[in-house]
Amino acid sequence: MPTRRRVRYWFFRFRTEVTGGAPATGAPRGLRAKWEADPYFGGWENFGVTWDLDVEGTRIVPLRHSLEQTWNNEAWANARDLPRE
């Protein structure tokens, strides 16, 4: 089984493909079908928006905030103001 990091890489590639981007070629055989069969699968376009993998990379979990919103919250909480000239 690939690592969580690698599986999430392919999930992002699948999301890009279904939203009109480049084809996600080269994924491990059966990876896409395995996750699409999961009862909690919410569509590739919603990966990172409404669902993600758990920390072990073994099941789908719902998200309270999208990955982008989580990133923005962390950046605003931890970024320092730029010095003014």
Question: Is the Cα dihedral 1, 13, 34, 49 positive or negative?
Answer: positive
The model carries a pTM of: 0.78
pLDDT tens over the chain, length 85 residues: 789 999 999 999 999 999 999 999 999 999 999 999 999 999 999 999 999 999 999 999 998 888 888 888 888 888 877 666 6
The predicted pLDDT at position 46 comes to 94
Convert 1-59 into a string of H (helix), E (strand) and C (coil).
CCCHHHHHHHHHHHHHHHCCCCCCCCCCCCHHHHHHCCCCCCCHHHECCCEEECCCCCC
The predicted pLDDT at position 84 comes to 67
Q: Domain boundaries in the chain?
A: 4-78
Phi-psi region of 18 (alpha: psi -120 to 50; beta: other; left: phi over 0): alpha
